[in-house]
Amino acid sequence: MTDWTSGYVADIDYTSDFFRELTPAHLGFCALSQGHNHRLNQPNLTYCELGCGQGFSANLLAAANPHIDFHAMDFNPAHMAGAANLAQDAELDNVHFHECSFEDFGAAPGLPQQFDVIALHGVYSWVSKEHQRHITDFISKRLKPAGMVYISYNTLPGWAPVMPLRRILTNRANQGTGPLEQRIKEAMTYAQSLEQSGAHYFSSNPAAVRRLEQMKSNPASYLAHEYFNKDWTPFHFEDVAADLSQAKLSFLGSAEPRDHVDDISFTPEQQTLIQAESDPVQRESLRDILLNEQFRTDIFVKGKLQHSQRGSIAAWFATPLALTRHYSGGVMKLTWRGREVSMERAQFQPVLQALEKGPMTVRALLELEVFGEIPWTDISRMLTLLIGEGYLAPCLPQAGLAERAERCRLFNSAVAKRSEESETLQFFASPVTGGGIALDRLEQLFLLARSEGHKTPGDWADLAWQILAPQGQRLQKDGRTLETPEENLALLRVRATAFAARRLALCENLGLALEPEQALLRSNKVAA
């Protein structure tokens, strides 16, 4: 491993995922849910992502938010070259990639003096104390007053039983020779042999056994960056809060909306304990103990601006929402933190049905009387849970939607073209939500076929097979690989028909069409 990596894995490229917590509109909603009067609805915003990996999230957000100037950095030159290549193909001019270290980033040319948002997803736990200090120094100097920081990291006490497992794996991998992927596979085999031998560590720590079993299904690209860096630190919340307090930041809340609703995570007795803790930092630490928390997605702010009660309700009323997940009807049961939460169908179904026609504000939903006689506290709770569960997403204003639709179309076309070669990129940019919508490779190919004039699901399936067959790609059904063209085509037609029936209208409402005229038509219809 070369010196420039500072102990961070560079042998295997990081995954190209998208995380909704990075989305400006989502961060704004979470701030509103906590009563904070955020400034993310202002013009000329600046956004910085530290340790952006492949840069896919930064590119997607730039396409969906052309009114924001994005800067993203990573130390890996291959990642930055690939990110810049995608930005060029998507004709993005509001995203800038910087290949440098945390220490040098502050002196990068063309960097704004200060940012409205600084985000780092899955970075802080995987870098050295020195780099953690460089990060907090950068935040201290570069975050605007009232600015927001999103930071996620591994957390104690949840990781405590698994820390020896990580040491077993890294020690074994460091003893080996050859490519890292091969050494990871051998280390996994060794750990499994220890578990099967009856080692007391595993028999006394069921969490370690579950983690090892879970790791079997993870790709090497994930395992390498999650477990095999030189530096790997699960934090107590209060330690991260102390680090960021040096940059004048205070904790606002979680970027996971479901964590804003205590009664779905805690028993009444546990809620009493939480409410009795007056210190906000110790209160969060207590929550981690009660939940045995393993991973936190935190929002910190540089100066809280608390809404008045009237102002908070007015901000809620002005929030536009979009349907982002197909609802097939029937009872909805949410499972969160190991607890099952039932929702009254008569309450949520009219909301989802109204949003099937397109995005609308909470005020518009109230005017349609979809909430019936439900009190406001129950309405806000229900909407928060539906957003947390992924049925709804907060949206951007209607102003500028047509421009966003075209920018997203160019980006999504570049992603869809890449899906002809691989399944690496699994999200499209939505000009409606300002974030990413998950679409697998086949769904992207179906939309690509449709944009090229293929009218029916059968035609979409035929084009997809013309792309997959020469690559030796085969579909699976019931755990069996389909070998014949007839079997593969039959399953592709089933998938295409289901996509047309269940997902296509949703994709259109979210502005994911790849045809220029359809994207603009859809934008105008929604705006109307």
pLDDT in tens, 271-281: 999 999 999 99
Q: Which of 97-111, 123-137, 223-237, 435-449 has the lowest mean pLDDT?
A: 223-237
Closest by CA position to 495, among listed 451, 462, 448, 528: 462
Q: Higher pLDDT residue, 399 or 341?
A: 399
pLDDT at residue 360 tops 60: yes
Mean pLDDT (whole number) for 145-161: 95
Instruction: Name the band, by pLDDT with cuts 50, 70 and 90, for residue 472.
Output: confident
Instruction: Name the band, by pLDDT with cuts 50, 70 and 90, for residue 329.
Output: confident
pLDDT at residue 473 tops 90: no
Helix (H) or strand (E) holding 244: helix 237-245
Q: Higher pLDDT residue, 371 or 517?
A: 371
Q: How far apart are CA 312 and CA 309, in angstroms?
A: 5
Mean pLDDT (whole number) for 401-414: 95
pLDDT number for residue 262:
93
pLDDT number for residue 522:
45
Mean pLDDT (whole number) for 136-151: 96
List, in order, residues 6 or more apart from 283 with CB less than 8 Å away: 274, 277
pLDDT at residue 365 tops 60: yes
Helix/strand/coil (H/E/C) assignment for every residue in 326-386: CCCCCCEEEEECCEEEEECHHHHHHHHHHHCCCCEEHHHHHHCCCCCCCCHHHHHHHHHHH
pLDDT per residue over 44-98, tens digit each? 999 999 999 999 999 999 999 999 999 999 988 999 999 999 999 999 999 999 9
pLDDT number for residue 1:
36
Contact 75, 100 (CB under 8 A): yes
pLDDT number for residue 16:
66
Q: How far apart are CA 153 and CA 161, in angstroms?
A: 17
Q: In a 3-state reduction of DSSP, which class is residue 279?
A: coil
pLDDT number for residue 333:
78
Q: How far apart are CA 26 and CA 526, in angstroms?
A: 20
**Sign of the CA dihedral 368, 370, 373, 376?**
negative
Q: Higher pLDDT residue, 323 or 328?
A: 323
pLDDT at residue 471 tops 80: yes
Mean pLDDT (whole number) for 383-405: 94
The number of beta carbons lying within 10 Å of the beta carbon of residue 58 is 29
For the chain, what is the mean pLDDT? 90
In this structure, the dihedral spanned by the alpha carbons of residues 7, 10, 16 and 17, taken in order and rounded to 10 degrees, is -20
Strand partners, 339: 336
Domain 19-156+234-301's class? alpha beta
pLDDT number for residue 15:
59
pLDDT at residue 350 tops 70: yes
Rg value, the chain, Cα? 24
Q: Higher pLDDT residue, 207 or 63?
A: 63
